[in-house]
């Protein structure tokens, strides 16, 4: 996959590719999960409801908002389209969202536990923890509100008894964030089996977050 929102506009193919990637690496199975990307200030593209990534094609991607939602197939948008829209409205810095039901992160979500600062890479999501949003029925406004709050100053969160949300500048970046969250969740679960993981303190995490501001940046 080569997705770069800085070189070309995002489109349906980006969503198809990222959904197939998430399926291939095991972050989603069957029809679970969804993905979207922003294509205007108030418009975005999103996966249709109930279509497996193996048969997904650009023609099946749905254009939002609902007032002009269209898909060649006539398929309905993902049941979480409202949540994606609410996140875009609250976060103008975000251009893509992926939602997964990845095993370890979802297991923690079912325990309604956040991922704390047991490892410095927790900072990759933008803070000293990866929050877990309170439970609400899928597709509901309550879930959208809970997700927006859990993502305040963050680029990923867990959804209680549900799964993961990850944000990015393009679908691939969001997918990489979701993969990092799953890796951290797996490590945390393994560590917790042997005892109580030792957490980094506030000062240590602030230092990490500061260093992350230039992490991976090339000098000119």
Residue 42 above 80 pLDDT?
yes
Q: What angle do CA 160, 209, 41 make, to 5 degrees?
A: 65
> Out of 7, 52, 80, 180, which one is annotated catalytic?
80
Whether residue 77 lies inside any domain: the answer is yes
Residue 202 sits in a domain whose CATH number is 3.40.225.10
Alpha carbon distance 68, 70 (integer Å) = 6
Q: pLDDT at position 66, please?
A: 64
Alpha carbon distance 148, 133 (integer Å) = 9
In terms of Cα–Cα distance, which of 95, 78, 61 is closest to 166? 95
Q: What is the pLDDT of residues 110-153, one digit of tens each?
A: 999 999 999 999 999 999 999 999 999 999 999 999 999 999 99
Whether residue 141 lies inside any domain: the answer is yes
Residue 47 above 60 pLDDT?
yes
- Active-site residue 80, yes or no? yes
What percentage of the chain has pLDDT greater than the value 90? 85
Whether residue 5 lies inside any domain: the answer is no
What is the enclosing helix (H) or strand (E) of 57?
A: none
Give the total number of structural domains in the chain: 1
In terms of Cα–Cα distance, which of 42, 37, 6 is closest to 171? 37
Whether residue 7 lies inside any domain: the answer is no
Q: pTM of the entire structure? A: 0.91
Q: pLDDT at position 83, please?
A: 97
Q: What is the pLDDT of residues 155-212, one digit of tens each?
A: 999 999 999 999 999 999 999 999 999 999 999 999 999 999 999 999 999 999 999 8
In terms of Cα–Cα distance, which of 197, 31, 184 is closest to 122? 184
**Average pLDDT of every residue of the chain:** 92
Q: pLDDT at position 4, please?
A: 39
Alpha carbon distance 62, 37 (integer Å) = 11
Q: pLDDT at position 207, please?
A: 97
Whether residue 190 lies inside any domain: the answer is yes
Alpha carbon distance 64, 78 (integer Å) = 11
Report, as an integer, the average pLDDT of 82-87. Answer: 97
pLDDT band with cut points at 50, 70 and 90 for residue 214: confident
Least confident of 38-52, 68-82, 141-155, 181-195: 68-82
Beta bridge partners of 18: none
Beta pairing, strands 163-168 & 156-159: antiparallel
Q: pLDDT at position 68, please?
A: 59
Domain holding 40, by residue range, is: 12-212
pLDDT band with cut points at 50, 70 and 90 for residue 72: low
Residue 40 above 90 pLDDT?
no
Whether residue 96 lies inside any domain: the answer is yes
HSE, CB side, 13 Å, CA atoms: give it for residue 152. Answer: 5
Whether residue 217 lies inside any domain: the answer is no
Residue 170 CA from chain centroid, whole number: 11
Tokens 């990490």 map to which residue?
208
Alpha carbon distance 189, 108 (integer Å) = 8
Whether residue 164 lies inside any domain: the answer is yes
Outline where DSSP puts E strands in 119-174.
132-133, 156-159, 163-168
């Amino acid at each position: 996959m080569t997705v770069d929102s800085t070189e070309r506009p995002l489109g349906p193919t980006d969503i198809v590719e990222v959904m197939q990637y998430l399926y291939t690496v095991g972050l989603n199975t069957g029809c679970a999960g969804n993905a979207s990307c922003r294509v205007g200030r108030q418009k975005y593209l999103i996966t249709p409801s109930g279509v497996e990534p193996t048969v997904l094609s650009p023609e099946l991607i749905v254009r939002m908002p609902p007032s002009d939602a269209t898909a060649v197939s006539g398929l309905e948008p993902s049941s979480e389209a409202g949540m994606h829209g609410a996140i875009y409205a609250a976060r103008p810095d975000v251009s893509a969202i992926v939602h997964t039901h990845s095993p370890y992160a979802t297991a923690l979500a079912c325990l309604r536990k956040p991922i704390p600062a047991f490892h410095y890479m927790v900072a990759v999501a933008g803070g000293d923890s990866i929050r877990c949003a309170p439970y609400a029925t899928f597709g509901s406004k309550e879930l959208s509100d809970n997700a927006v709050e859990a993502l305040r100053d963050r680029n990923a969160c867990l959804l209680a008894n549900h799964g993961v949300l990850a944000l990015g500048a393009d679908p691939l970046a969001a997918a990489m964030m979701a993969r990092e969250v799953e890796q951290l969740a797996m490590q945390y679960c393994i560590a917790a089996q042997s005892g109580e993981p030792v957490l980094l303190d506030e000062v240590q995490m602030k230092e990490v977050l500061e260093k992350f501001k230039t992490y991976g940046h090339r000098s000119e």
